[in-house]
Chains A and B, each alone.
Chain A
Amino acid sequence: MKTFRRLVETLLGAFCVALIVTLTALVLVAVAYRQLGASLTWYDEVATVLLAWLTYYGAAFAMLKRGHLGSPELLMRLPIAPRRVLFVVSEALVIGFFAVVAWTGAEVVVLLKGDGLISLPWVSVQVTQSVMPLGAAMFILCQLLSVRDEWAVIRLGGNVVKESV
């Protein structure tokens, strides 16, 4: 299981870094083209699709690291038995929510068959929107892969540092 987790962490991390690097490069190329008087018509649409991909695949990676903002303070103060029950409830609620996102995302992808991006009609919207079912499924996978470690932190009542901007 640890090997599989490391594999997911490495591959998903590399993919997310590739996304952020591509996004940066695209913004810079677009600025250069605009300054040269030849704006790229597809830039806005493609860049925001990349941002959506970065959001959902990045959110899955952040879940693997348990980096999402939360407030474990109350849970950690409870006796161990109710703490365990509420931890399971909390994890199940999150899985349930992302299961709905994955399911509705998959339904939407099916409905979008034949549609393309406005500025690049040959790029299928099914591909760009696939991030919803795939990203949500990846989120659930990453949650399951990190649940043991998270329970260890909650059980021991350790200090959890969550970073925000």
Chain B
Amino acid sequence: MATLLILLGLIALVLLNVPIAAAIGIVALAGTVALHGTENLLNVAITMYEGTRSFPLLAVPLFILAGGIMNAGGISRRLIEFAAALFGSFRGGLAMVDIGVSMFFAEISGSAVADVAATGGIMIPAMKKKGYPAEFAAATTSSSASLAIIIPPSIPMILYGTLAGASIVQLFVAGIVPGLIGGFGLMAVAYGFARRYGFAAGEAFRLARLWQAFKAAAWAFLLPIIILGGIFGGVVTATEGAGLAVLAALFVSGVIYREIDWRFLYRCALEGVVQTAVVMLLIATSALLGVLLTETRVPQQLAAAVTSLTTDKTLVLALLNVLFFVLGFVLHSAAAIILVVPIVLPIVNAIGLDLVHFGIIVTLNLAIGQQTPPVASVLIVTCSIARTDIWATTRWNIPYIGVLIGVLLMVTYVPSTCMALVEFFYR
């Protein structure tokens, strides 16, 4: 009964266009008053304050800020020039460039929206100029941007790790192989599109041009080595690695390239503030809801209901995947992770699933959810840059989404896809 009331309340408020974070808070508040009257109300402020004071979550604003600095300081542009020299000569080469840059940017930034901001403004007009359909350009940019949350570092993995108590570093390592498979899968689809629709190739491959582009981008290539090397090598924590990302991006942009646009950087910082606050407010109000869920034992009841039907791991994983896939149509990724993970964790524990493995499954589902309208944050941002219709773009995006679903199924049912590196290095 409590589950139903909480769910109905949330749906009603979200449909009313109450911001999701406030909707969670209102439902939690109403539930608290229903259970205890007004005597426990002081806990509202205390729980919401303590809910945001999580050390691993410090990485969220820092990775967002690092992405902004990379955009403001010419790093993204140099990466695009290098990828153009490497992949541009293929048929449909600019799409390959787009995906390649996204894969590289994913190793520095942890946000798909930051990836779109880095590549979309340059790659989409370039593809349109080459005669590629605008919807194809948008679909390619949007789906490849979601690699940013699969390939480490990844903000959703930080959120998941914090909520589930899983190792963030192990989650990062587990994301490497699925991210690379996804990236090359997207490239294969782009090549297929290019052959089918006769998209032009770019400039012929020239070793001299590649060398020039490599020299220009060499400092940018050091960034993932510093950031990921520091985190994986145990020199810094994920949070400190995020701080290092900011410092390294500032150093390369300001000292080496000497082209930081300070006004643009200020705007990026403000944008980073907004993105951080939006996610963190969700976390704060979900802490309130978490107290209510614990008191009403909703997750435990749900786990008991599911495991009374079946304890077959394959079937339960299929059910969880379907749940996340459906939620991806109607929930933003941060909201989905914050709302659903605490509720389904008892089920995950009941069937004995590794928390890191499940974290990658969740992340891949979120990446797919970012592409499935009507609520598809990355797709919508990309379409606003490309000035394309969301549904027309989605028609081109379906094969790309198919690749992400393929990777999800591979990770779900062949756990070594993501866990082999974790087992090798950490267990």
Contact = CB atoms under 8 A, between A and B. Distances in A.
Interface of A: 13, 16-17, 19-21, 23-24, 27-28, 30-31, 44, 47-49, 51-52, 54-59, 61-62, 65, 67-75, 86-87, 89-90, 93-94, 96-98, 100-101, 104-105, 107-108, 111, 129, 131-133, 154, 159, 161-165
Interface string B252-286: 00000000000000100110111111111111100
Contact of B239 (A13, A27, A90): A27
Interface of B: 13-22, 25-26, 29, 41-46, 48-49, 52-55, 57-58, 60-62, 64-65, 110-113, 149, 155-156, 236, 239-240, 242-244, 246-247, 266, 269-270, 272-284, 330, 332-335, 370, 374-375, 377, 380-381, 384
A95 to B, nearest CB: 10
Contacts of B45: 101, 104-105, 107-108, 129, 132-133
B274 A20 contact: no
A118 to B, nearest CB: 12
B275 A165 contact: yes
Contacts of A65: 274
Given A17-B270, A51-B61, A163-B377, A59 B278 contact: yes
B240 A27 contact: yes
B16 A55 contact: no
A57 to B, nearest CB: 8
Contact of B22 (A19, A68, A133): A68
A48 B278 contact: no
7 contacts: A16-B273, A56-B281, A58-B276, A98-B22, A105-B49, A133-B45, A162-B377
B269 A21 contact: yes
B15 A71 contact: yes
Contacts of A165: 60, 64, 110-113, 149, 155-156, 275, 279, 333-334
A111 B72 CA distance: 45
B44 A71 contact: no
Given A58-B274, A89-B16, A129 B246 contact: no
Contacts of A94: 18-19, 22, 26
A144 B15 CA distance: 21
A110 to B, nearest CB: 10
Contacts of B48: 101, 132
Given A13-B270, A161-B384, A51 B53 contact: yes
Contact of B277 (A55, A75, A104, A108): A55
Contact of A28 (B22, B44, B243, B277): B243
A27 to B, nearest CB: 4
A108 B41 CA distance: 10
Contacts of A132: 45, 48-49
A14 to B, nearest CB: 9
Contacts of A161: 380-381, 384
Given A51-B52, A107-B45, 15 more contacts: A16-B277, A20-B65, A21-B269, A31-B236, A51-B61, A52-B49, A54-B280, A56-B284, A61-B274, A62-B277, A65-B274, A68-B281, A70-B14, A89-B16, A105-B45
A55 to B, nearest CB: 4
Contacts of B111: 165
A74 B18 CA distance: 12
Nearest 3 CB-CB pairs, A to B? Answer: A58-B277, A27-B243, A68-B19
B384 A100 contact: no
A13 B49 CA distance: 21
A52 B281 CA distance: 9
B47 to A, nearest CB: 10
A31 B226 CA distance: 14
A105 B41 CA distance: 10
B272 A20 contact: yes
